[in-house]
Structure 1
Amino acid sequence: MAHDVVVIGAGLAGLTAARELTRQGFDALVLEGRDRVGGRTKPAMLAGHPVDLGASFVGPTQDAVLKLAADLGCGTTPTYCDGANLIRWRGNVRRYQGTIPKLGWLGLVDIGRIQWQFERLSAGVSISAPWTAKNADKLDGMSLGSWLRSIKASASSRDLMAIMARVTWGAEPDEVSMLHAVRYVKTSGGLDRMLDVVGGAQQDHFPGGTHQMSAKMAAELGDRVRLNAVVSRIEWSSDAVAVASSAGVVDARRAVVAVAPMQRLDIDIAPAPPIEYQQLAQRWPLGALTKVYAAYPAPFWRSQGLSGQALSDAGPVFITFDVSPPDGPGILLGFTNPRGFDALPEPQRREQALACFAGLFGEQAANPIDYIDQRWGAEGFAPGGPTAAVPPGSWTEFGPLLRMPVGPLHWAGTETADEWTGFMDGAVRSGQRAAAEVAATLTV
């Protein structure tokens, strides 16, 4: 029996698309290559409490994911941020307040100048069609790193922006198109909203973990979700698709491919779309990022007047957050540069990560009651980081194709969103948009 729609990928984007279509009365089937749903959200337990190995935070204006969470009964809690933040910089550790540390008067002026110029550039860039900007070729022809050098940003400012690039895209500033950086930040509402905790993208997190949203959507869909179904080929005509996976062949009228653009290359599509679609996938690589967690009997840093948030120019951990449950142990989350770290055996990774925590928060941080890390680049299926780290030259050449359907094939995934690209909210919005596209074609 042919289905109305087959959705490839059971992350937030794919499950949202299937849920929306099913609620409208269409017969949707989801194929997922992993043995779990959730995509770039992933659950784990640490000291008896859930933690997010993938996407973690939500904040104001992320209305799509917040509404979904509320509909599913998934509550949020504020990210702890009382007290002073820490920065380990040029061998010294000191306290600071606010999102961006004030590295001296000149440093404050320089960061303010960078932020002003960033926002001035973004005013001329369309979120939905960034390639149409007057200076699109120039911005897309340079990296974030080369732009910072061109405006003579100080070494300290460049190093701070490198931390932003690593946590945002899992990439170095020289690896990311300036046009992509400007557009991406604009989809988040600006640098302050993207980087802040209170009033920003890190304001809240889920005590039960972000994965519960995917798990609850999958439970609603029931046997419409098939796991361990690695899709290898899609054959299509103007009004039908045949999707071959390790679970067999599925026929449908339309398909939603809800995977990261780079992962489209893993699927043989016949007839082949124009070569530019393959080139787009090659030019939209995922970044690389690793997360580490350590649990302690209590959040001891709070008694020292510390928020648990920290920045460091000494790796491998470069930024931390306090994600302790209200009635449990103290839990520190660290975002970690995978270069050099991921190749180490687990005992050495643990040693290096805890040394970073101890260098920031004192020797108590060296002795946790539990530890876990997640190397997204080492995933056996669909490896990669949090979102695409789009290199120079990609948006102006291939951007118009990013979500343009090919016959009955529609594209979803956070990279295709116009709001909160790269975040869970973008993933949900992309699923809603793809579902609307499909529904419109099926009801003609």
Structure 2
Amino acid sequence: MAEVVVVGAGFAGLAAARELSRLGRDVVVVEGRDRVGGRSYTGSVGGVPVDFGATFVGPTQDAVLALAAELGVESVPTYGEGKNLIRWRGRVRSYRSTIPRLSILELLDVSRIQWRFDRISKRVPVDQPWASPLAGQLDDISLDAWLRSVHAGASTRDLMAIMARVTWGAEPGDVSMLHAVRYVNAAGGLNRMLDVEGGAQQDRFPAGTQKIADLMAAELGDRVVVGAPVRRITRNPDRTVTVTTAGAEYQAGAVIVAVPPEHRSGIEFDPPLPAEHRELSRHWPQGRLSKAYAAYETPFWRADGHSGESLSDEGPVFITFDCSPGDDGPGVLLGFTDPRSFDPLPGEQRREIALAGFSALFGDAAAHPIDYVDHCWGAEPFSPGGPTAAVPPGAWTAHGRWLRAPVDGIFWAGTETADRLTGFLDGAVRSGLRAADEAHRELARA
């Protein structure tokens, strides 16, 4: 028995449970994985904690930064001193800005497209994007189709493809233009979303983001149950809700489902959810993204005057960051990899091609790490996919209004349901606090 059952022990679910506990509510959290954190998952390479999932935070991400400060988890600036590198059209060049050094015509085209994109995004309300006068037009096409319709050059389209892969784990042709502009608007604009200094990648947690989830779970104690995937949620005639896992049943006055929209369909609802909610789950797919880390005796690229940040138009490594703990070592390179060519390979081959990607950017020294590790989110055995939903054309206007609409004591959380910083850790925390307030108010009315 509990007043509220929370399904999912990621940042959204744990933030909701923590807030409900503070409000005096009796709460239980059930999690299918054998750990807490959800899409925040910290491992190690070369003895250094590294994040396989959510990694960075930045200005305006007040909810997650306040949570981390309250729990005593410190952040540090992402290393960014020196020159960035770009591997482009067979050549490696250096640059010092968010936008890489391209030809004058290419830079003008990038600026033109960014201006048009940001201008459109300001006309799409984050809370109700389907209500924009442009909604139908924008939701009918993909981001790639829009780029082609405004005659974006090949370099601009390739740069936007890198953005789409790291942001949604998808190609520009898979993502609705309405979703793209709504998402960027929720992040505070393209510059805020893409920049390191002053942007969403400005800081990281050297202990790993999962440390925050672990501390939230520790506060809740035995009210957090892991290894308990939810099989069924039953809405009872007496207005209570029964949550059934593989080994237990929980009866509550309300339930918060804090899992990605696609994975709601993995739960049997009795009686079935309204058709609108079922259709939303079918049309709100998760993207896929993978990461590779290599550790070296020292961050040798720093001595060469490089920041560790890079872009590449050749896979599988298409963007990198320096996650080293300091100048003395070990040096740690993070590479985001394209799951289409990366995930199907056996482990040794993944290592080989990831190191080849690092070497193409940072030289032969990158081919000889002291340690290596990677993680393929699309291959996860439980609730696969990441980093967030890659919403296809047509989904927002047809199904978006049901994304977080409650159903008879069932409330929805998760970063996809946030109106600010959707897809980020901050959005996950905000969604949990919002769902906790909704459940608390419903129980008070009942």
Structure 1 and Structure 2 fold alike (TM over 0.5): yes
Give the equivalent residue in structure 2 for 1:357. Answer: 358
Give the equivalent residue in structure 1 for 2:380. Answer: 379
- Aligned counterparts, 1:8-407, within 5 A: 8-237=7-236, 239-326=239-326, 328-407=329-408
Residue-by-residue CA offset, 1:79-104 (whole Å, 9 max, x unaligned): 00001100000100000110111311
Aligned residues: 443
Specify the SS of the correspondent of 1:339.
helix
Q: Report deviation, 1:247.
A: 2.5
Q: Report deviation, 1:19.
A: 0.3
Specify the SS of the correspondent of 1:421.
coil
Give the equivalent residue in structure 1 for 2:420. Answer: 419
Taking the aligned partners of 1:223 and 1:399, their CA distance within structure 2 comes to 36
The answer to whether the Cα contact below 8 Å between 1:58 and 1:204 also exists between their aligned partners in 2 is: yes
Q: Report deviation, 1:251.
A: 0.4
Taking the aligned partners of 2:317 and 2:233, their CA distance within structure 1 comes to 41
The answer to whether the Cα contact below 8 Å between 2:299 and 2:329 also exists between their aligned partners in 1 is: no
Q: Report deviation, 1:442.
A: 1.3
The answer to whether the Cα contact below 8 Å between 1:57 and 1:204 also exists between their aligned partners in 2 is: yes
Specify the SS of the correspondent of 2:244.
strand
Q: Report deviation, 1:239.
A: 2.4
Specify the SS of the correspondent of 2:405.
coil
Taking the aligned partners of 2:11 and 2:249, their CA distance within structure 1 comes to 23
The answer to whether the Cα contact below 8 Å between 2:293 and 2:335 also exists between their aligned partners in 1 is: yes
Identity of aligned residues (%): 61
**Structure 2: which 5+ runs fail to align?**
none
The answer to whether the Cα contact below 8 Å between 2:94 and 2:101 also exists between their aligned partners in 1 is: no
Q: Report deviation, 1:189.
A: 0.3
Taking the aligned partners of 1:419 and 1:329, their CA distance within structure 2 comes to 36
TM-score by length of 2: 0.99
**Structure 1: which 5+ runs fail to align?**
none
Taking the aligned partners of 2:214 and 2:111, their CA distance within structure 1 comes to 42
Residue-by-residue CA offset, 1:248-281 (whole Å, 9 max, x unaligned): 1110000000000000000000111211111101
Taking the aligned partners of 2:318 and 2:59, their CA distance within structure 1 comes to 25
TM-score by length of 1: 0.99
Taking the aligned partners of 2:318 and 2:397, their CA distance within structure 1 comes to 32
Q: Which amino acid aligns with 1:189?
A: G
Q: Which amino acid aligns with 1:405?
A: P
Residue-by-residue CA offset, 1:134-185 (whole Å, 9 max, x unaligned): 0100000000000000000001110010000000000000000000000000
**Do residues 434 (structure 1) and 421 (structure 2) align?**
no
The answer to whether the Cα contact below 8 Å between 1:8 and 1:258 also exists between their aligned partners in 2 is: yes
The answer to whether the Cα contact below 8 Å between 1:137 and 1:396 also exists between their aligned partners in 2 is: yes
Specify the SS of the correspondent of 1:443.
helix
Specify the SS of the correspondent of 2:84.
strand
Taking the aligned partners of 2:205 and 2:283, their CA distance within structure 1 comes to 33
The answer to whether the Cα contact below 8 Å between 1:230 and 1:247 also exists between their aligned partners in 2 is: no
Give the equivalent residue in structure 2 for 1:5. Answer: 4
CA RMSD of aligned residues (A): 0.7
Residue-by-residue CA offset, 1:106-137 (whole Å, 9 max, x unaligned): 11110111111011101210000000000100
Q: Which amino acid aligns with 1:385?
A: G
The answer to whether the Cα contact below 8 Å between 1:262 and 1:285 also exists between their aligned partners in 2 is: yes
Specify the SS of the correspondent of 1:410.
strand
